[in-house]
Structure formats: C-alpha cells, structure tokens
Chain A
Amino acid sequence: MQQFFIVLCLVLMVVAGGAAVMLRSMLKSTISLGVASALLAAVLFLLGAFWAAIFELSVCSGLITVVFVSAVSLTNSDRKDEEHVKEHRARVAALPAILIFAGASLLFILFSHDFNIVISSTPASFAAFKEALWSLRQSDILGQIIAILAGTFAVIVLFKERDNI
C-alpha cells in the first residue's frame, strides 16, 4: 500500500512539474510548482526522510511559493504573458511528447535489463540525524550561513536607493 502511494505521488509530481512549465498563466505555474513540492514532501516522508520532508513542505512548498507569487504580482508578468499566449504555447508544445517518449524509453530499458536496486528504507533516528548534521557536516552549516549572508547582501544591493550612488 505504501508503494502504491509513493508511485501515485511521483506520477502526480511529474504532472504538476510539467504543468508548471506548460501553463500560460504565471500564477498557475507557481501554484503547480508548490503542489509538486508538496507531493515531493509526501514522497520523502513515505521514504523515511522525515526532516527533509518537513523542510521541503515548509520552505519549498510554502516560502518559495510565496516569493514567486510576490514576484509575479510585482512584475505583472501574468498579464504580460497573456499577450504572448500563442508564442508560449508553440514553444512548449513538444514537452508532453518528449516526456512520454523519455519516460517510456527509460522504463523499457529498466524493465528489459536486470535492474535491481532495492530500497532498504529505514528511517534515521534523531540521534543519527543530529550526529550527521552537527558533527559530520559542520562545513555544510558554515556554508549555509555564508550563503544566507551572501543572499541577504545581494537583495540589499538589488533594492538599495539609487540616490546614494
């Protein structure tokens, strides 16, 4: 039953991802991306990656969706895109065929060969996760702090008043 839900969430995630690319409205694309993130969070949860699922759901499905909706509202790109409906439709028209062909090809290759990767999913204990995050990957924490500061600085530079220049 768990495998069925994983497969269902994966199929819906690919559909939502494709819709995010295909849809003409930027707002609908953003919402599709948020749905894809939420479905990915469900897959991560079913695979036993609980903390990654929580981060994915709260940050990617929540925060990034809000950032994109704000950006779409501030740039009026939803309205502008309506003027280029035919152009966008022509540009992405081939995507469904490419996705179906690539998916069918890969599944055929995997099924026709002796593909045997078995998921031995055992959820990590909190102690193991804490050890990996704070002891084993301390450099990652430092890198994350530096990246956040760099991002903050970039946003400040982008929106600073032009009078001071």
Chain B
Amino acid sequence: MNIVSAIILTAALLMIIAGMFCLVRTYNLIRIIIAIEIAMKAITLLLVFAGAVNGNMALSQTFVITMIVIEVIVAVVAAGIAISLYHKNGNVDIRELTNLKG
C-alpha cells in the first residue's frame, strides 16, 4: 500500500468535490470561475500522478501545459464576462446573464 498514492487520489477527489459544491451552491460568477480553477487543479494533479505511475512524465507534462493554457483562457474570458456583467447590471449574479443577449 503506497500511502502517498492514496493521499494524492484523496486530495484530488476532495478538490473536485469542493469545486463542484461551489459550482452548485453559488451564483457569483467570479466565485464560479474560482470553483472551476479548483477542480482543474485536481485534474492537473491526477495527470502528473498518472505520468509518475506510468513512468512517462514527459508526456503528462505536455498535457499539463496544454491544460494550463486552456485554464488561463477560460479565466480571462470569464473575468471579462464578469466585468461586462457588472457594468451592465451592477453585480456579477449569473441569474442576470440573460440580460447580455443581443
């Protein structure tokens, strides 16, 4: 029994649960982006863990770098949407996102 492997898997699962819980329970757009980022941290950890187990760390790192790029783009675009929403409605409540259409 490898204790480190078990704790890595547990930590990843807990991060995913925390992110999903926040996604379900909040209406604040910036907090939703933070929740997505937390869940993506867990996926990054699992990718590197898979590479460490299989002994193919180079390939897993390339996937992690691709994921980080996508993570940044998601964060920047979502932050832009949050700022636009604030300028239009005075808050960042996602229930008012329908006002952005058109």
Residues in chain A within 8 A of chain B (CB atoms): 3, 6-7, 10-11, 13-14, 17-18, 20-21, 26, 29-30, 33, 36-37, 40, 43-44, 47-49, 51-52, 55-56, 59-60, 63-64, 67-68, 70-72, 74-77, 80-81, 88, 91-92, 94-95, 98-99, 102-103, 106-107, 110-111, 114-125, 128-129, 131-133, 136-137, 140, 143-144, 147-148, 150-151, 154-155, 158-159
Contacts and interface: CB of A to CB of B under 8 A. Distances in A.
B69 to A, nearest CB: 5
Contacts, number: 247
A115 to B, nearest CB: 6
B69 A51 contact: no
Interface residues of B, number: 66
Contacts of A77: 28, 30, 82, 86, 91-92
Contacts of A129: 58, 61-62
Nearest to B25: A91
B61 A124 contact: yes
B13 interface: yes
